[in-house]
Structure 1
Amino acid sequence: MIHDHEAGVTATMTVSDMQERDARRFVENIEDMVSGSRPGDPTPGLDAIEGSDSSGTVYCVVGLGGSLLQVGIVEGWWDAVGPHGVAAAVLESLRFARDKAGLARIVLNHHGHSSAVSEPGYQTLFTSEPHRELPPYDSPDFPSELSRKVERAAQILANAERFARERDSGVRSEITGPRGLFRVVLSGFAVVGAAVSEQGLRAADGSALAADACDALLAARRRFEDGETR
Structure 2
Amino acid sequence: MTDTVLIPGGRDVRASLDTAASDGDRADAVVVACPPHPQQRGHRGDERLAAVSDALTARGVDCLRFDYGDWDEGYGESTDADAAVSWAAERYERVGLFGFSFGGTIALVTAASRPGLAGVCALAPTARLNPDVDAVAALDDIVALGVPARVLYAARDTTAEWRPVVDRAEALGVGTTEFGSDHFFVGQAGDVGAAAAEFLIPRLGSD
TM score, norm. by length of structure 2: 0.30
Q: Which has the larger radius of gyration?
A: 1
Between Structure 1 and Structure 2, the one with more helix by share is 1
Between Structure 1 and Structure 2, the one with more strand by share is 2
